[in-house]
Amino acid sequence: MSQFDIEKLPKGSKGFMYDWGSDQRAFKGVPWGKAMMWIFLLSDTFIFSCFLISLMTARASTVVPWPYPSEVFGLTVFGTSVPLLLIAIMTFVLITSSGTMAIAVKYGYEKNRKLCGWFLLATAIGGLTFVGMQAFEWSKLIFHDGVRPWGNPFGAEQFGAFFFMVTGFHGTHVSIGVIFLFIFARKVFRGDFDTGRRGYFTSMKSDYEAIEILGLYWHFVDLVWVFIFAFFYLW
Amino acid sequence: MTSDKKQEVHTHKIGVYLWIWGLLFVFSFFSYMVDYINYQGLLRWSLIIFFMFVKAGLIMAIFMHLYWERWAIVNVLLWPMTAIGVFIAIMAAESYYTFFSRMFYFVVGS
């Protein structure tokens, strides 16, 4: 492997030409795991885009009025109905967990084992809270309002199908993230990245850059929620 | 391999993340207020899109560290988004056509 000093390489668009024109790897200074996670996230972006674009297509082409999410997802608190209350709380919870994740990545790179672990744990609990509130939202819509993928009492029939598909796919991502957050919190607390202990599945040594890769996934989940919040709930 | 791993490490002050966290809270609150105040029409849509892109940009640039990455990877990640933009345009045109033909055959045609 050739050695290079990343600080001395050209930057910006010149650096782009230089990196891609070199007969070595194109992503200089990017560990392979991080590059692979980015490429996975890119493909995931396309999947979520397809969901949201088909939501747009269904909603723009239906001749039946689309249910108004502001009222469908409203909650009644102390006798007054507040629009989208649960969704707003879910948004803030997910953003908070994204913030703690960013801090966990920072402490990981500083090799601060304990703080990194605690912030990972806080992130996992934030994610778990989000999934819990989503379960509440789903059960309210299914059992109380009678929303089904093929129909609902509010308006256009496609509403239910898109609701379950889009939020379900996102919720699955959050759930998988929570599982990995717990696994990696345990690994960090045990000191796997300091002692070079080999992973259970990969039997490879790893270090704190694994936390950044996990962080990329978690921030992406938050990023997707930003778009779902805008296009499904607010539009 | 090991030498550039060490160079890769760059940590920022915790204040950067707390700032972005706070900004994301504020912008989420604003986009929620769009619904709470019940703005409708073009104002609603443009505000939603604006806050959405600001939040997405902050998350990608700071939390996902894209601001500090080299252009080689930033370009690989952002250019494919134009394909999504084209797809949105195609499907928007298609859905308006579907809506038109439904209206035509359901209402006028019957």
Is residue A79 domain-shared with residue A139, that is, in the same domain?
A: yes
Q: What is the share, in percent, of chain A residues with pLDDT greater than 70? A: 99
Portion of chain A with pLDDT greater than 90, in percent: 65
- The closest of A82, A72, A80 to A153, measured between CA atoms, is A72
What tens digit of pLDDT does each residue of B34-80 get?
988 888 889 999 999 999 999 999 999 999 999 998 898 899 999 99
pLDDT at position A3: 65
- Given CB atoms, is A137 within the 8 Å cutoff of chain B? no
Q: What is the CATH number of the domain that holds A182?
A: 1.20.120.80
Asked if A230 contacts B31 with a C-beta cutoff of 8 angstroms, the reply is yes
Q: Which domain holds residue A3?
A: 1-30
Distance CA A120, CA B49 (A): 31
SS3 labels along B30-57: HHHHHHHCCCCHHHHHHHHHHHHHHHHH
Are A47 and A15 part of one and the same domain? no
Length of chain A: 235
How does pLDDT run across A2-29, given as a tens digit for each residue?
567 888 888 888 888 888 888 778 888 8
Say whether B3 and A38 touch across the interface (CB within 8 A).
no
Cβ(A66)–Cβ(B106) below 8 Å: no
Q: How far is CA A187 from the centre of its chain?
A: 21
> Which pLDDT does position B3 carry in this prediction?
45
**Do A107 and A25 share a domain, yes or no?**
no
Q: Please state the domain count of chain A.
A: 2
Write down the mean pLDDT value for chain A: 91
pLDDT of B2 above 60: no
Comparing C-alpha atoms, which of A227, A129, A211 is closest to residue A170?
A227
Exposed, middle or buried: residue A43 (CB in 10 Å: 0-12, 13-18, 19+)?
exposed
**Amino acid type, A7:** E
Alpha-carbon separation of residue A70 from A32, A77, B40, B51, B53 (angstroms): 43, 15, 12, 18, 21
Residue A102 and residue B17: Cβ atoms within 8 Å?
A: yes
Tracing tokens 């001395």 back to the chain, one arrives at: A8
Between A15, A20, A61, which is nearest B98 by CB?
A: A61
Same domain, A23 and A116: no
Whether A22 and A65 map to the same domain: the answer is no
What pLDDT score was predicted for residue B9? 59
Q: Same domain for A119 and A175?
A: yes
Does one domain contain both A67 and A133? yes
Return the residue in B5, B12, B17 with the most chain A beta carbons within 10 A, the one to mutate for interface testing.
B17
Per-residue pLDDT at B97 exceeds 80: yes
Position A74 confidence tier, pLDDT thresholds 50, 70, 90: confident
Q: How many Cα atoms occupy the beta-carbon half-sphere of B24 within 13 Å?
A: 30
Measure the CA–CA gap between A142 and B3, rounded to whole angstroms. 55
Best mutation site among A55, A91, A226 for testing chain B: the one with the most B CBs within 10 Å?
A: A226
Residues A80 and A146 in one domain: yes
Same domain, A45 and A139: yes
B105 at A interface, C-beta within 8 A: no
pLDDT at B5: 47
Strands (E), A75-181: 75-77, 80-82
Model confidence over A83-98: pLDDT tens digits? Answer: 888 999 999 999 999 9
Beta-bridge partners for A80: A77
Q: Do A103 and B102 touch (CB under 8 A)?
A: no
Do B32 and A91 count as a contact with CB atoms less than 8 A apart?
yes
Find the closest chain A residue to B67 by CA distance.
A12
pLDDT of residue A1 exceeding 70, the answer is no
Same domain, A122 and A194: yes
Yes or no, beta carbons of A102 and B24 under 8 Å apart = no
- How many degrees, rounded to 5, is the angle at CA A195 between CA A192 and CA A197? 55
Same domain for A161 and A69, yes or no, is yes
Whether residues A21 and A69 fall in one domain: no
A57 to B98: CB separation less than 8 angstroms, yes or no:
yes
Q: A218-232 pLDDT, tens per residue?
A: 999 999 999 999 999
Q: Is the pLDDT of residue B12 over 90?
A: no
Contact between residue A100 and residue A221 where contact means Cβ atoms under 8 Å apart: no
Portion 83-122 of A in contact with B at CB < 8 A:
83-84, 88, 91-92, 95-96, 98-99, 101-103, 106, 109-110
Q: Any chain A CB within 8 A of the CB of B45?
A: yes
pLDDT average, residue stretch A207-220: 94
